[in-house]
Amino acid sequence: MKKLLLAAALAMSMSMTSSLAVAETVVKILDHEPTTKEEKEFLLRVAKKYEESNPDIKIKFDFLDDVSYKAKLPTLLQSSERPDAFFTWTGGVFYEQAQTGMLKDITDMMTPAVKARYATIGLDGLSYKGRLYGVPMYASNILIWYNGDLLKQANVDPKAIKTWDDFLNACAALKKAGITPITIGGKDKWPIAFFYGPLALRIAGQDGINAANRGENGGFNNKDFVRVGKEFERLVKLDPFQPGFMDTGFHKSVGLFGDGKGAFLPIAHYVIDMNAKNSTSGKGIGDSLDFIPFPAVTGGKGDPKDTFGGINGWLLTKSAKPETLKFLEYLTNKENQMESARLGLWLPIVKETQANIKDPRVQRVAKLLEEAPHHQLYLDQALGAVVGAAVNDAAAELATKEITPEKAAKRIEEAREIR
Amino acid sequence: MYDDGKLTTIFLFLPPALVLFTIFVIWPILNATNFSFYKWSGYGELTNFVGMQNFQRLANHSIFHQSIWNSVKLVLVSLLIQIPLALTMALLIYKKTSVNTAFRLIFFAPYILAEVATGLIWSFIFDGDYGVTAQITQALGIDPIYILADKNYAFLTIITVIIWKYFGYHMMIFIAALQAVPHDLLEAAEIDGASPWRIVWYVKIPLIAHAIKLSAFFAIVGALQVFDIIIPLTNGGPSNSTHSIVSYLYYFGLVQLNVGYGSAVGVVLFLLCIVTAFSYKRFAIDKGGEL
């Protein structure tokens, strides 16, 4: 009898849960493991809040570490297990996904009123051939951050650095004072491209980069890109990087900077937290930390106000449930973007949310982004994986003085041709 | 003719193995071979047939040549340094005593460590800023050394780590084989007045030749497949000089979303392994009798 009762109770509870499940729509979102705990908590908190006001919808976030995320995504998107939406760094990989019909075109699903709240660079970043495929969430902007105390020791005034020549002079002065001018994570290669990429933006301009990417004017093997290599080579000739920089990963390079072992570091605003967390003392260089925009290059075609960095957001897969877009719009509404700005999670991409940013330095970063005529995506994202890797390899080999600027330009063009 | 019992056995026991082998070995190999003739990023349908183009690119890519050369170096080092080292150690400590057991444990321990963990541990040891190397150079009052950032030494370092990690495994195979060498033979040699060195050379080594051959085979195939130690140690750098065939495949095939090209590398690697395995069997094992 006892057994019978138990079985009946089990059956009842099972039928109850299954009837509950039927009434719910589950929106599955796949994300790469966020860099900070706070970021993950924020996403889950917003999801929970959304579920409370929409009891028939369940938001399910899944997180995968960076490498597995990138490796599993192609297979996952082509299977029936695909999520409704997933995190994107935009750029070439996103174009590939859009081209092969993996994504949902939401151009007509998002109302003009909602569209109006995002910064243009955000919507541009999530668009391919004029069609919108996702919702932007944040931007990042690579600038040259410096250690004010070290610059003072070498009598370098950061505010006076306006051109690339000024910057080279500053590096020479630091070197003379026995201070390592720049810490860089050469082992990962892409941090070196934080010099090469912005230089390309200043010298060739965004139009020049796009034209080269289309194969016009000799592709990447033209005099502008040779000059990019040459200007970078001028920096390399000063031996500006910390010893053993090719065995330094990105995280360690930020730690070295936080330990006061180098004066400059090309990086985004997250350096403020990261230089402290990665330093030996756990405190970093504190208020001595500030930044200058990437200097102008004399005779360059790019606007010195153009910015360089990332656009990140969410892409909807072709079979995404209608509720997905509603949730993503909620996740990136003004209130939530203000909250993420207040928490210092990222640079919000919704207009008029900057006021909530606490750190004045980050506020200035946001302002630069807002005023930028163009925002160039990281080259290894914008140009796709093959050409992007060739850019990173070329930058790394220029840094180790293994190839000439001419050969670097040629290598990148070769990669573009076989792409 | 098979009798009923034999047929039943075949029908009962062959399918599970055959099905698993087909699904997890044959099918992926055929698939990869197919991909290798396409230019394909992994997204969408296979539409861009390029024939042998991926293989041509591979043949002309200097970094691929370097990775092949690196893998060859690993094979040579495994055979010429690692196995003799393992054999020497095995001869020294194969007898069952408590001290020997302790040594066996110490030498075998690196093999148990996960490859990635090994890479991370050694990259800390070689870290010229914060690692063990840094402490040594500081204590000696000399300039810091960044061995993994130096193109001339980075691969040598990888080789050292690989020997350190795997020689214990080969040593264990030899120890097991040595313990199976009949005592009466060794005693007979001793009574005949053979020196310890002659006993090793004329009795022990010939009697464990099968184990040495097996070990050498594992070493060769293992050397061709080295991957997870390289990524945390050097990430294939500096300047792509320390790739093995597999890390080359990973970097130029998967990371750069060139699944077609990566498959071509995979096919070449597969052929290399197959050719090695069969010629090894033909020339080393068949000639010298059973394994």
- Nearest alpha-carbon partner for A187 in B229, B67, B239: B239
Chain B residues whose CB is inside 8 A of the A244 CB are: 128-129, 144, 146, 148-149
**Which residues make beta-bridge pairs with A103?**
A317
B56 in contact with A, Cβ within 8 Å: no
Contacting B residues, span 121-180, partner chain A, CB-CB under 8 Å: 123, 126-130, 143-144, 146-149, 151
pLDDT for position B7 = 84
Reported as a single tens digit per residue, the pLDDT across A141-184 is 999 999 999 999 999 999 999 999 999 999 999 999 999 999 99
Is the Cβ–Cβ distance between B41 and B257 less than 8 Å? yes
- Nearest alpha-carbon partner for A243 in A290, A161, A182: A182
Pick among 3.40.50.300, 3.30.2030.30, 3.40.190.10, 3.20.20.100: CATH of A25-140+310-375: 3.40.190.10
CB atoms under 10 Å from CB of B110, counted, come to 17
Residue A419's pLDDT band, with cuts at 50, 70 and 90, is: confident
Q: What is the mean pLDDT of residues A81-86?
A: 95
Q: What is the mean pLDDT of residues A94-119?
A: 92
Facing B255 at nearest CB: one of A97, A280, A385: A385
pLDDT for position A362 = 92
Structure tokens at B192: 């005949």
Inter-chain residue contact B126 with A396, CB threshold 8 Å:
no
pLDDT for position B289 = 52
Reported as a single tens digit per residue, the pLDDT across A21-36 is 446 899 999 999 887 7
Domain ranges of chain A: 25-140+310-375, 143-307+377-418
Kindly report the average pLDDT of chain A as a whole number: 91
pLDDT for position A23 = 60
Does the pLDDT value for residue A19 go beyond 50?
Answer: no
Reported as a single tens digit per residue, the pLDDT across A131-146 is 999 999 999 999 999 9
Does the pLDDT value for residue A1 go beyond 70?
Answer: no
A303: left (phi over 0), alpha (psi -120 to 50) or beta: beta
Reported as a single tens digit per residue, the pLDDT across B123-148 is 999 998 889 999 999 999 998 889 99
* Residue from A247, A257, A280, A380 whose CB has the most chain B CBs within 10 Å, to mutate: A247
**Distance between B65 CA and the closest CA of chain A, angstroms:** 17
pLDDT for position A98 = 92
B47 in contact with A, Cβ within 8 Å: no
Facing B43 at nearest CB: one of A102, A256, A280: A102
Facing A244 at nearest CB: one of B44, B128, B239: B128
Low-confidence stretches of chain B (pLDDT beneath 50) = 291
Q: Which fold has domain B62-285?
A: MetI-like fold (1.10.3720)
DSSP H or E segment with residue B134: helix B132-140
pLDDT for position B44 = 78
**Distance between A395 CA and the closest CA of chain B, angstroms:** 10
Q: What is the mean pLDDT of residues A310-316?
A: 95
Does the pLDDT value for residue A78 go beyond 60?
Answer: yes
Rounded Cα distance, B64 and B43, in Å:
25
* Residue from B146, B257, B258, B259 whose CB has the most chain A CBs within 10 Å, to mutate: B257
Q: Which residues of A touch B (CB under 8 A)?
A: 70-71, 74-75, 77-78, 93, 96-97, 99-102, 186-189, 242-248, 252, 256, 261, 280, 384-386, 388-389, 393, 396-397, 400, 402, 418
3-state secondary structure of B18: helix
Reported as a single tens digit per residue, the pLDDT across A344-376 is 888 888 888 878 888 999 999 998 988 889 999
pLDDT for position A65 = 84
Residue pairs between chains A and B whose CB atoms are closer than 8 Å: 94
DSSP H or E segment with residue B241: none
Confirm whether A25-140+310-375 and A143-307+377-418 share one CATH topology: yes
**For residue B149, what is the DSSP state?**
G
What percentage of chain A reaches a pLDDT higher than 70?
A: 95
3-state secondary structure of B217: helix
Q: 3-state SS of chain A? A: CHHHHHHHHHHHHHHHHHHHHHHCEEEEEEEECCCCHHHHHHHHHHHHHHHHHCCCEEEEEEEECHHHHHHHHHHHHCCCCCCCEEEECCCHHHHHHHHCCCECCCCCCCCHHHHCCECHHHHHHCEECCEECEEEEEEEECEEEEEHHHHHHCCCCHHHCCEHHHHHHHHHHHHHCCCCCECCCHHHCCCCHHHHHHHHHHHCHHHHHHHHHCCHHHCCCCHHHHHHHHHHHHHHCCCCECCCHHHCCHHHHHHHHHCCCCCEEEECCCHHHHHHHCCCCCCCCHHHEEEECCCECCCCCCCCCCEEEEEEEEEEECCCCHHHHHHHHHHCCHHHHHHHHHCCCCEECECCCHHHCCCHHHHHHHHHHHHCCCEEECHHHHCHHHHHHHHHHHHHHHHCCCCCHHHHHHHHHHHHHHC
**Crossing angle of the two packed helices A37-53 and A334-342, in degrees rounded to 10:** 150
Reported as a single tens digit per residue, the pLDDT across B231-254 is 989 988 888 899 999 999 998 988
The yes/no answer on whether domain A143-307+377-418 falls in CATH 3.40.190.10 is yes
Inter-chain residue contact A389 with B256, CB threshold 8 Å:
yes
Long-range contacts of A195-198 (CB under 8 A, 24+ apart): A195/A232, A195/A235, A195/A266, A195/A395, A196/A228, A196/A229, A196/A232, A196/A379, A196/A391, A196/A394, A196/A395, A196/A398, A197/A142, A197/A308, A197/A376, A197/A378, A197/A379, A197/A391, A198/A142, A198/A266, A198/A294, A198/A308, A198/A376
**Distance between B15 CA and the closest CA of chain A, angstroms:** 28
Inter-chain residue contact B149 with A245, CB threshold 8 Å:
yes
- Nearest chain A residue to B126 by CA: give it: A247
* Residue from B41, B58, B263 whose CB has the most chain A CBs within 10 Å, to mutate: B41
pLDDT for position A18 = 46
Rounded Cα distance, A140 and A311, in Å:
7
pLDDT for position B285 = 72
pLDDT for position A202 = 97
3-state secondary structure of B219: helix
Distance linking the first and last C-alpha atoms of chain B = 30
